[in-house]
Chains A and B, each alone.
Chain A
Amino acid sequence: MDFELSPEEKAFQKEIREFLDKECNENVVAETLSLQGAGPYSKELLRKMGANRLLAPRWPEEYDGRGMGAMAEAIKVDEINSHHAPFPLDGVEIGNALLISGNEEQKKRFLPGIASGEIDIALGYTEPNAGSDIASIQLRAVEDGDHFVLNGQKIYNSEAHVCEYHWLLTRTDPTAEKKHRGLSMFIVDLKSPGITIRPLITSGGLRTNEVFYEDVHVPRENLVGEKNGGWAVIMSALYGGGGGGGLATGTKNVINTLVKYVLEEKQDADENKWIPEAMADLYVKTHVGELMGVQATAFADLKVTPPYGGGGAVSRLLSGDTRRLLYNTAMQILGPYGQLAKDSKWAPLKGEILREFMDAPRWTIVHGSQEIQKLLIATRGLGLPRK
């Protein structure tokens, strides 16, 4: 048993932390906090990170990675979050799936671009009638000689407006007896004629998109895996990641910032006596969520199933709940000032708490809702019956 990062991981953490301390300037942070997707400053930073091989530490060196484990990926995510650097969210994750499911030509074509920060890929699963139930998507792909013709609609495809490619789940066989058997995965150039991207904005101000496909021609070499074998590819994308989460430096920073605020602004007042214990509770929950996440990541690197099979999903459940609790508590601490947006007179802590409070609900919905996580833990982890 050991709770410390390895010397190699510590060195990587130091390297990326120092790099971002220096390079993640206020223009980049402003772009990240605007929630509008990676802008020009962010793209420039991503390219610099790529040049320093900081984007895909988990990939083999031949694809500009470092051949490290899931823990290095978790360290990267943690540092990016705590610096408010742009998040090359899906490109690297999709790259992980490509490493498992892609052919040699596809790996050579896409991986170096992702690792160098030149290209990013948006995740294209969700449709208006297919959210948690991914296998019921309808966007149709019809084979036609050396290409496929695509028609249909995706929804909530984040970053599609700033990405170069789309990791797109389509239906190639509408007659398949089981609906997840008739699916195929493509990488689509988002500049292809027939694609229309329209903004959708969350109440927290985050830009995401609807993406419409109208007779879009996609060459056969962009099919990932087998035709009608899309389900296996999606599984490699969902589970090939293997952890990647856990470290909570950003959240602990927020807690410390709040403590400082309370100590400076809210001294002695009797009605604030509840605050220290509430903050301690949040710190405990954050720390425990972090530990579980980090351990799940370590198990993934060791290729060992954790006891009870819970793994990272268990940590995600706790951390998602804790995030909402944190920002709700923070809003209670700020009282009437909490309502003030960042550009308002009197706004505390640069309006950051309000922004996070408004954005917090997303984290218990995206990438598999809390309920879907619970379903997976119950049936796969605890072996509870489905029927």
Chain B
Amino acid sequence: MDPRLSEEQEILRKSARDFLTDKCPKTLVREMEKDEKGYSPELWKEIADLGWMGLAFPEEYGGGGMSSLDLAILLEEMGRVCFPGPFFSTVICGGLPILDAGSDAQKRKYLPDIISGKTIFTLALTEASGKYDAASVKVKATAENGNYIINGTKLFIPDANVADYILCVARTDDKAKKPEDGITVFIVDAKSQGISTTVLKTIARDKQCEVVFNGVKVPKENILGELNQGWGDVQKIIERAAIAKSCEMLGGMEMVLDMTVAYVKERVQFDVPVGVFQAVQHHCVYMLVEVEGSRATAYEAAWRLSTGRPYSSEAAITKAWVSDAYQRVVALGTQSHGGVSIMEDHDLPLYFRRAKAAELAFGDARFHRKTVARNLGFKV
């Protein structure tokens, strides 16, 4: 048992933190909230050159050959600064699924461009129900002359407005007995005819989109994994994304805790720093419990993932805990700050808004507690 990061990992953390402190100030974050694309192509290129996109990919595709645990550190640091842009969509929801389920040809075709920062990916999974279960996948793909024709609407698709490719989860056999059967994942060129994308106005002002597929033609070589057997891969994507999102959220809550502790040491009322009051101290202590709990569980899950151990159960535990934890941390952080922190130009609302968006992404606490309940033996 060793809860420490390795020396190389500490170096990775420090260099990521230094870089992001310098290159990703809150002014940029706010600018990107208003920006049409939602990310800075210059910063995107810089992080590609630093090897961030490729960090966890094998060297043969141009990657850094590092582990999911190393990636977890990077995500944590990105969460700390509310990093804007399609990193998560591209790497976690595009590249890694291709590495996992793709054919050799697909890996050679797509991974080098992801790693070099040339292409942006996203995952089109959720639909009108907003849920992450198989039954909610209704978008249809029908075979036609060696191609598939996709029809239907995907909702809450991050970064689809700038994506070059979309991993689209579609129903290819609607007569299958179980909702999990008959689902296929397609790698879709986002510039294909029949795709229209509308950016939604969201709480985090991230770029979640409605993506309408209207007779979109996809060659059958673009099937990722097996025809009709895609749900297993999708589940893996959800679990991995739940862990990765938790790491990002951990970084965000650490920052809120740091900001809060610093503020209550400085803010004077009744002639003393407000951090002297036990009520305020207890707020901070409970924030610490949430943060430390999140760190322990997110890193346990990431460690299991990166060492090849089973991780489904830990992914659910982590996202269940972290989703609630981030909410409690922003609530207590805001309460400890008082009025200043609910002003629009304060940094805390940036985290407040992102905590809610992240809670909803890849299953909220309730969704994951259901999985934990199933693992305990309940039939839910």
Task: Kindly identify, within residues 240 to 295 of chain A, every residue whose CB is under 8 Å from any CB belonging to chain B.
Answer: 255-256, 259-260, 262-263, 275-277, 279-281, 283-285, 287-289, 291-292, 294-295
**When the two chains form their complex, are residues A2 and B1 in contact, meaning their CB atoms are under 8 A apart?**
yes
Judged by a CB distance under 8 angstroms, whether B3 is at the interface is: yes
Given A314-B288, A378-B285, A384-B284, the answer on whether A1 and B6 have CB atoms closer than 8 Å is: yes
Residues of A near B320 (CB, < 8 A) are 280-281, 284
**When the two chains form their complex, are residues A384 and B261 in contact, meaning their CB atoms are under 8 A apart?**
yes
**When the two chains form their complex, are residues B281 and A374 in contact, meaning their CB atoms are under 8 A apart?**
yes
**When the two chains form their complex, are residues B285 and A283 in contact, meaning their CB atoms are under 8 A apart?**
no
The docked-state distance in angstroms from the alpha carbon of A260 to that of B156 is 39
**When the two chains form their complex, are residues A259 and B317 in contact, meaning their CB atoms are under 8 A apart?**
no
Cβ-defined partner of B370 (8 Å) among A259, A276, A299, A308: A276
Q: Flag B257-299 by CB within 8 Å of A: 1 or 0 each.
A: 0000100110000001101101011101100110111011101
Residues of A near B288 (CB, < 8 A) are 308, 310, 314, 377, 381-382
Judged by a CB distance under 8 angstroms, whether B346 is at the interface is: no
**When the two chains form their complex, are residues B282 and A284 in contact, meaning their CB atoms are under 8 A apart?**
no
**When the two chains form their complex, are residues B281 and A3 in contact, meaning their CB atoms are under 8 A apart?**
no
Residues of A near B340 (CB, < 8 A) are none
User: Which of B5, B376, B378 is packed against the most chain A CB atoms within 10 Å?
Assistant: B376
Cβ-defined partner of A1 (8 Å) among B5, B285, B292, B366: B5
**When the two chains form their complex, are residues A288 and B317 in contact, meaning their CB atoms are under 8 A apart?**
yes
Given A318-B293, A381-B288, A384-B281, the answer on whether A4 and B373 have CB atoms closer than 8 Å is: no
The docked-state distance in angstroms from the alpha carbon of A299 to that of B378 is 36
The docked-state distance in angstroms from the alpha carbon of A5 to that of B3 is 11
Judged by a CB distance under 8 angstroms, whether A229 is at the interface is: no
**When the two chains form their complex, are residues A280 and B376 in contact, meaning their CB atoms are under 8 A apart?**
yes
Q: Flag B360-380 by CB within 8 Å of A: 1 or 0 each.
A: 000000100111110011101
Cβ-defined partner of A378 (8 Å) among B69, B282, B373, B380: B282
User: Which of B5, B282, B289 is packed against the most chain A CB atoms within 10 Å?
Assistant: B289
Judged by a CB distance under 8 angstroms, whether B189 is at the interface is: no
**When the two chains form their complex, are residues A298 and B265 in contact, meaning their CB atoms are under 8 A apart?**
no
**When the two chains form their complex, are residues B292 and A310 in contact, meaning their CB atoms are under 8 A apart?**
yes
**When the two chains form their complex, are residues A385 and B1 in contact, meaning their CB atoms are under 8 A apart?**
no
Residues of A near B377 (CB, < 8 A) are 259-260, 263
**When the two chains form their complex, are residues B369 and A281 in contact, meaning their CB atoms are under 8 A apart?**
yes
**When the two chains form their complex, are residues A280 and B300 in contact, meaning their CB atoms are under 8 A apart?**
no
Judged by a CB distance under 8 angstroms, whether B326 is at the interface is: no
Cβ-defined partner of B1 (8 Å) among A71, A263, A275, A382: A71
**When the two chains form their complex, are residues A384 and B370 in contact, meaning their CB atoms are under 8 A apart?**
no
Cβ-defined partner of A283 (8 Å) among B275, B293, B372: B372
Cβ-defined partner of B378 (8 Å) among A276, A288, A289: A276
Q: Count of chain B residues with Cβ under 8 Å from any Cβ of A?
A: 46
Q: Flag A1-12 by CB within 8 Å of B: 1 or 0 each.
A: 111111001000
Cβ-defined partner of A304 (8 Å) among B4, B9, B276: B4
The docked-state distance in angstroms from the alpha carbon of A86 to that of B275 is 42
The docked-state distance in angstroms from the alpha carbon of A385 to that of B267 is 12
The docked-state distance in angstroms from the alpha carbon of A1 to that of B298 is 12
Judged by a CB distance under 8 angstroms, whether B132 is at the interface is: no
Judged by a CB distance under 8 angstroms, whether A131 is at the interface is: no
Task: Kindly identify, within residues 123 to 150 of chain B, every residue whose CB is under 8 Å from any CB belonging to chain A.
Answer: none
Residues of B near A375 (CB, < 8 A) are 278, 281
Given A280-B320, A304-B4, A384-B264, the answer on whether A318 and B300 have CB atoms closer than 8 Å is: no
The docked-state distance in angstroms from the alpha carbon of A295 to that of B261 is 23
Nearest chain A residue, comparing its CB with the CB of B299:
A1
Cβ-defined partner of A374 (8 Å) among B9, B273, B285: B285
Q: Secondary structure of the A side of the interface? A: helix
**When the two chains form their complex, are residues A279 and B378 in contact, meaning their CB atoms are under 8 A apart?**
yes
Residues of B near A371 (CB, < 8 A) are 278
Given A1-B299, A292-B292, A310-B288, the answer on whether A374 and B282 have CB atoms closer than 8 Å is: yes
Residues of B near A277 (CB, < 8 A) are 366, 369-370, 373, 380
**When the two chains form their complex, are residues B376 and A255 in contact, meaning their CB atoms are under 8 A apart?**
yes
Nearest chain B residue, comparing its CB with the CB of A6:
B1
Judged by a CB distance under 8 angstroms, whether B2 is at the interface is: yes
User: Which of B296, B299, B369, B380 is packed against the most chain A CB atoms within 10 Å?
Assistant: B296
**When the two chains form their complex, are residues B303 and A378 in contact, meaning their CB atoms are under 8 A apart?**
no
The docked-state distance in angstroms from the alpha carbon of A71 to that of B2 is 11
Given A1-B5, A259-B378, the answer on whether A291 and B370 have CB atoms closer than 8 Å is: no
Residues of A near B321 (CB, < 8 A) are 284-285, 288
**When the two chains form their complex, are residues A384 and B276 in contact, meaning their CB atoms are under 8 A apart?**
yes
The docked-state distance in angstroms from the alpha carbon of A382 to that of B293 is 16
Judged by a CB distance under 8 angstroms, whether B304 is at the interface is: yes
**When the two chains form their complex, are residues B2 and A298 in contact, meaning their CB atoms are under 8 A apart?**
yes
Judged by a CB distance under 8 angstroms, whether A302 is at the interface is: yes
Nearest chain B residue, comparing its CB with the CB of A292:
B296
**When the two chains form their complex, are residues A287 and B369 in contact, meaning their CB atoms are under 8 A apart?**
no
The docked-state distance in angstroms from the alpha carbon of A3 to that of B321 is 18
Can you list 18 A-B pairs, Cβ within 8 angstroms, ordered by A? A1-B6, A71-B1, A259-B378, A277-B369, A280-B369, A284-B321, A287-B317, A291-B300, A294-B1, A299-B3, A307-B295, A310-B289, A314-B292, A315-B292, A382-B261, A383-B261, A384-B281, A387-B272
New A-B contacts (9) at CB < 8 Å, excluding given A280-B320, A283-B372, A288-B317: A1-B299, A2-B1, A3-B300, A3-B303, A263-B377, A276-B378, A279-B378, A291-B293, A306-B3
Sorted nearest first, the 6 A-B pairs with minimum C-beta distance are: A378-B281, A276-B373, A280-B372, A291-B296, A276-B378, A280-B369
The residues of B with any CB-CB pair to A shorter than 8 Å are 1-6, 9, 69, 261, 264-265, 272-273, 275-276, 278, 280-282, 284-285, 288-289, 291-293, 295-297, 299-300, 303-304, 317, 320-321, 366, 369-373, 376-378, 380
